[in-house]
């Protein structure tokens, strides 16, 4: 016989965490797949294919000549920040010929990370322009590759001609704590931005 004091909420944790869609974008070979794989708490979904001769003259391999695979649709992962927040991560393809997918991936996203490579910083302009045109908040995460030129946050900001309020941080996309710090920084930026945005009625 069931207890008269039975509380259905005590039968299990009915708490529903908020889910947020985040894009991880940037140029070809900048480390998007690596970041999703480093931080995802589930086995990440990847759509990588071998780079073949078809890419010759189409994809710019300068600076990433040792890269043998490329994302052709998206990378997908998930990370629980805390009991109240779960992030769903969507890594975008980096080549120009797959940019038609970006509009679809952008739907429902609350923010984005633009990974930048100081060896090919100009490759970040397209992603920056994409998110600025759509009004999607983003931050720049400089992926510090071994042997790559080192620049300060202010130097990167100036080189990319960013809005003064756009965060720029340094990271190692291979390192889980570093990647998580980038996501945490983005969430804090989104919360702060929302708090400063007037509510229209």
CATH of residue 133's domain is: 3.40.50.300
**pTM of this prediction?**
0.77
Please check whether residue 136 lies inside any domain of the structure. Answer: yes
Domain that holds residue 80: 18-46+72-196
Buried b (16+ CB within 10 A) or exposed e, 52-66: eeebeeebbeebbee
Determine, yes or no, domain membership for 163. yes
Let me know if residue 162 belongs to a domain.
yes
The reply to whether 61 falls in a domain is no
Provide the total of helices (H) and of strands (E) in the chain, helices listed first.
5, 8
Of residues 182 and 198, more confidence is placed in 182
Q: Taking all residues of the chain, what is their mean pLDDT, rounded to a whole number? A: 81
Is residue 176 one of the residues assigned to a domain? yes
pLDDT at 80 over 80: yes
Per-residue model confidence as pLDDT tens digits over 103-112: 888 999 999 9
Task: Specify if 8 maps to a domain.
Answer: no
What pLDDT, on a 0 to 100 scale, did the predictor assign at position 43? 84
Distance CA 31, CA 35 (A): 6
Please count the structural domains in the chain. 1
**Is 12 inside a domain boundary?**
no
Least confident of 70-74, 87-91, 103-107, 160-164: 70-74
Instruction: List, for residues 29-55, the tens digit of each pLDDT value.
Output: 899 999 999 999 998 776 544 444 444
Beta strands 18-26 and 109-116 are parallel
Q: Considering the domain boundaries, does residue 62 fall inside one? A: no
- Residue 75 host element (H or E): strand 75-82
Mean local confidence (pLDDT), 170-182: 95
């Amino acid at each position: 016989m069931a207890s008269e004091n039975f509380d259905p909420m005590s039968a299990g944790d009915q708490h529903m965490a908020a889910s947020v869609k985040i894009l991880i974008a940037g140029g070809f070979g900048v480390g998007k797949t690596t970041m999703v794989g480093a931080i995802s708490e589930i086995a990440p979904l990847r759509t990588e294919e071998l780079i073949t001769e078809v890419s010759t003259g189409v994809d710019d391999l300068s600076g990433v000549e040792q890269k043998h695979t490329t994302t052709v649709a998206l990378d997908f992962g998930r990370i629980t920040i805390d009991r109240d927040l779960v992030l769903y991560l969507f890594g975008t393809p980096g080549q120009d010929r797959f940019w038609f997918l970006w509009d679809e991936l952008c739907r429902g996203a609350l923010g984005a990370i633009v990974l930048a490579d100081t060896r090919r910083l100009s490759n970040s302009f397209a992603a920056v322009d994409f998110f600025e045109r759509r009004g999607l908040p983003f931050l720049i995460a400089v992926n510090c590759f071994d042997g790559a030129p080192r620049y300060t946050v202010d130097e990167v900001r100036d080189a990319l001609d960013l809005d003064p309020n756009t965060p720029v941080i340094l990271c190692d996309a291979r390192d889980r704590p570093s990647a998580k710090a980038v996501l945490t920084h983005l969430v804090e930026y989104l919360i702060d931005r929302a708090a400063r945005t007037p509510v229209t009625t």
